[in-house]
Amino acid sequence: MTNKAVKANEGQKSKGWRPSLFTRFILIGTLNAVVTIIIIWICMHPFNLDYRVSNVIGYILGQIHNFLWSKYWVFANEENKERNTIRQAIMFIIAFGSAFTAQYLFMISMVNFFGMNEFWTQWLGLIVFGAVNFTMHKIVTFK
């Protein structure tokens, strides 16, 4: 190893072990999926809201939760923490809009064209959302 690599490695050891970026994203993504789906279920069942309205409410509330975890843990580093939070919030909203649109169109298509259950398509939509969301945050929001 070069001197630079040894110093970088020593710096990592002193900070303690930390899961990889992808592992952190999966952990928080899973937590966020649970938060989102619980909110959607509450909106659809006790409150009898339409599945589309429930979807919007669930994703918006879930993304507030997700932004804080993403900024301060998933994509966190000293440079990122010091970056302009307003700029990151705007980029986060753009990334969210892209991911949400992809999953929303997927969900509507599955219900309208394939007759899938309105609640279960929410679960499948989380996969579409997660893939687009991770890519956008990695490339745009927290680069």
pLDDT digits (tens, 9 = 90+) for 8-34: 444 444 457 778 988 998 999 999 999
Contacts for 37 with CB less than 8 Å, ≥ 6 apart: 58, 122, 123, 126
| Position 106 pLDDT exceeds 50 | yes
For residue range 35-80, what is the model confidence (pLDDT) as tens digits? 999 999 999 999 999 999 999 999 999 999 999 898 888 888 777 6
Answer for the pair 111, 85: CB distance below 8 angstroms, yes or no. no
Whether this prediction's pTM lies above 0.85 is answered by no
Cα pseudo-dihedral 24, 25, 31, 32, rounded to 10: 150
